[in-house]
Structure 1
Amino acid sequence: MRFLFAAALLSITFAATVEECLTQVQAGMFETPCLMLLFSKLLGYGMVSASLMLKFPQILKIVRAKSIAGLSLTSFYVETLGFSLIAAYNIHNKQPFSTYGENVTLTAQCCLQVLCYWYFGNINTKHKISVLFFFVFAWILPLFSEILPQSLWIIAPNINLCMNFIVKGSQILTNWRNGSTGQLSFITNFMNFGGTSARIFTTFTELKDPFLLFNYSFGTFLNAVIVFQLVYYWNVSIEEKKEKKAD
């Protein structure tokens, strides 16, 4: 709690607007808070642009291998819910798009990942219909139609924190049990790590939301563990590909 309180106080230091900072820079005044804010904006929009392709290395890897080996359907589901929840939370709180935009594009890409898993994992029709019904009518519509009470929005970051732990924890556990990362994409997960790391900076600089800051910090730690596993099990994954070709 001390960390969250300190983060909230420090974030107030960077409360200047972009317009004010641009005016100062044009006048030859290069104050650190304003330079940090402008850099944060550039970084934020850069992340939103980069996120348009974030999940495609993973999707392509599944399609090319025609396999979902080593991947967790639970992780895909909860990741989709998590990204959509954070997008809705930021929209509800009228946060700058540069601080959360990738959550919108990643929600759509996560849906594609789920569809790929359903296809190559031969998931039964009843399961698909049940999941689609829940996602559309019990999740997306309530989140984005502003019908939820304020009390739920207050705890939304905590819900996302739990989801993130389930997603990454499930994948970390799957990798450890298999002794391999299977069809997990190094590019996608390394970009996830870079993205959450950058979001620590943009959230700290632009938002007075210590709970989001803690979310991104915890997410960065979990992403770092997965990247470590990808490197650690790298040779195992290569051997699996060779054996598959030999078969």
Structure 2
Amino acid sequence: MSRNSTKRMDTMNPFKDFLLTHYMPEKCYNEFFHNFNLIHVPCLNIFLSKILGVWIMLGTVVVKLPQICKLLRAGGAEGLSFVSSLFELFAITGSMVYCISLNFPIGAWGESLFIVIQNLTIGFLIQHFGGSTLKGVGFVLIYCCLLSLLISPLTPWSVVILMESSYMPAVIIAQLIQSGMNYRNGHTGQLSAVSVFLLFFGSLARIHISAKDTGDSLMTLTCVLASCCNAVIAGQVLCYWNRSPSVKGKEE
């Protein structure tokens, strides 16, 4: 087949259009599919970064669902820190408000909305199973009012910037609070192992993406610290795997 024929076929190839739009530049497509150079390191790095980004986005959308399901099945929220949930909610809210304030398309912040809904649900369930259903309802209503205020023109831009810049510190503080609670309790209670490990592997992937795509050493260091915090909780889940509140109570 002539080179001209190959070019004509490429221009009509929806598979190529999809790859060029979402995963790689044309030079990498040519390396992989024309030159059959499947170990071209720069192009492999680009492709893997794009793949990791997609999986992070998909994992982010569902990362808290296993936790919600476990709480509903157990009918309790022992071992989960409400304060930790508040810090997580603050972090993701700041990111979402920042995107909305800049009129970014919903594709840029849609996954944040899913996380907000999941964190709100977890916060409500912690209060509900703790015997404070009215507090849980009040928590949801107050959050909705504050969110409406934050995305309104009444909120100064400096406040939005401050919330956005506090994203990673808030996430790290949330993880430290939860890990401290796990240590004091001697168990992880109703903490979902699936959600914990999804967060851990997602944070590892973010280190690679941050180092490769941004080159910002401070952002990369922040991602490393977040991964370390997630690693501590993941390690606690493994260490306390067969321990429950009742087991700890018997030992005491």
Global fold match (TM > 0.5): yes
Q: Distance between the aligned counterparts of 2:222 and 2:143, measured in 1?
A: 23
1:136 aligns with 2:139: no
Q: Residue 219 and residue 90 in structure 1: after superposition, are their counterparts in 2 closer, same or farther (change >3 A)?
A: farther
Letter in structure 1 aligned against 2:49? S
Shift of 1:46: 1.9
Kindly state the Cα deviation for residue 179 of structure 1 after the two structures are TM-superposed.
0.9
Tell me which of 227, 232, 237 is aligned to 1:230.
Answer: 237
Structure 1 residue 194 corresponds to structure 2 residue 201? yes
Q: How does 1:161-172 map to 2 (within 5 A)?
A: 161-172=168-179
How many angstroms apart in 2 are the aligned matches of 1:87 and 1:227?
A: 27
Q: Deviations over 1:49-102 (max 9, x none)?
A: 233321122111111111111111111222122122233345657889898764
Q: 1:107 to 1:137 in 2, by over 3 A?
A: same
CA–CA separation in structure 1 for the residues paired with 2:51 and 2:105: 12
The change in CA–CA distance for 1:19 and 1:136 in structure 2 (over 3 A counts) is closer
Give the distance between the partners of 2:23 and 2:61, measured in 1 at CA: 30
- Give the AA of the match of 1:22: P
Aligned-residue identity in percent: 27
Give the counterpart of 1:213 among 207, 210, 220: 220
**SS at 1:137 equivalent:** helix
Other-structure match for 2:31: 28
Q: Which deviates more, 186-195 or 128-137?
A: 128-137
Higher relative contact order (CA 8 A, sep 6+): 1
Residue 208 and residue 223 in structure 1: after superposition, are their counterparts in 2 closer, same or farther (change >3 A)? Answer: same
* Equivalence map 1:55-134=2 (5 Å): 55-89=64-98, 102-125=111-134, 127-128=135-136, 130-134=138-142
Structure 2 equivalent of residue 6 of structure 1: none
How many pairs were matched up?
A: 224
| Shift in alpha-carbon separation, 1:57–1:235, aligned structure 2, 3 A | same
Aligned residue type for 1:160: Y
Tell me how far apart the structure 2 counterparts of residues 40 and 179 of structure 1 sit (CA, whole Å): 38
Contact 1:75 1:166 in 2 (8 A): yes
1:39 Cα shift? 2.3
* Selected match of 1:44 from 48, 53, 68: 53
Determine which structure has more spread, i.e. the larger CA radius of gyration.
2
Per the alignment, do residues 38 and 95 of structure 1 end up closer, same or farther by CA in structure 2, a change over 3 Å counting?
farther
Instruction: Find the aligned partners of 1:217 and 1:189 in 2 and give their Cα distance.
Output: 16
2:13 aligns to what?
Answer: none
C-alpha distance in 2 between matches for 1:129 and 1:121 = 13
Alpha carbons of 1:49 and 1:21: their partners in 2 closer, same or farther (altered >3 Å)?
closer
Residue ranges of structure 1 left out of the alignment (5+ in a row): 1-16
Residues 44 and 99 in structure 1, CA contact (< 8 A), matched pair in contact too = no
The secondary structure found in structure 2 opposite 1:235 is coil
Which residue identity does 1:67 align to in structure 2?
G
Seen in structure 2, the aligned counterparts of structure 1 residues 217 and 96 have a Cα distance that, compared at 3 Å, is: farther
SS at the partner of 1:173? helix
Give me the CA root mean square deviation: 3.4
Contact 1:88 1:143 in 2 (8 A): yes
Structure 1 pair 175/18, CA: closer, same or farther in 2 (3 Å)? Answer: same
